[in-house]
Amino acid sequence: MNIILVSGNLAKARTYTLSPSRMAVLLTGLVLIVLVAAAVLNYLVLRHAAESKSPLLQSVLLTLQEREQERTQSYLRENLNAMAVRLGQMQAQLLRLDSLGERLAKLSGLKPQDFLFDRIPGQGGAASALLPSQDLSLGEFNRRIEDLNRLMNDRTDKLGVLESYVMQDRLTKKMLPSVLPIVGGAYSSNYGWRIDPFTGSNAFHEGVDFMAETGTAIVAAAGGVVVYSDYHPEYGNMLEIDHGNGLITRYAHGSKRIAKVGDVVLRGQKIGEVGSTGRSTGSHLHFEVRNNGTPLNPGRFLQPAG
pLDDT level of residue 10 (50, 70, 90 thresholds): low
CA-to-CA dists, residue 136 to 68, 111, 170, 243, angstroms: 23, 39, 47, 59
Can you give the pLDDT at residue 175?
75
Q: Is the model's pLDDT at 50 over the cut of 60?
A: no
Contacts of 108 (CB under 8 A, 6+ apart): 166
- pLDDT tens-digit map of 264-299: 999 999 999 999 999 999 999 999 999 989 999 998
Burial class (CB within 10 angstroms; exposed 0-12, middle 13-18, buried 19+) of 49: middle
Backbone angles phi, psi at 273, to 5 degrees: -135, 150
Closest by CA to 278, choosing from 243, 246, 234, is: 234
Domain segments of the chain: what residues?
2-52, 77-114+139-174, 186-300
Q: Is the model's pLDDT at 1 over the cut of 70?
A: no
CA-to-CA dists, residue 21 to 15, 18, 30, 46, 173, angstroms: 18, 8, 14, 38, 91
Q: Is the model's pLDDT at 304 over the cut of 60?
A: no
Mean pLDDT of the chain: 79
- Let me know: does 166 contact 107? Beta carbons within 8 Å: yes
Q: 186-300 sits in which CATH class?
A: mainly beta
- pLDDT tens-digit map of 158-190: 777 666 666 666 656 667 888 899 987 778 888
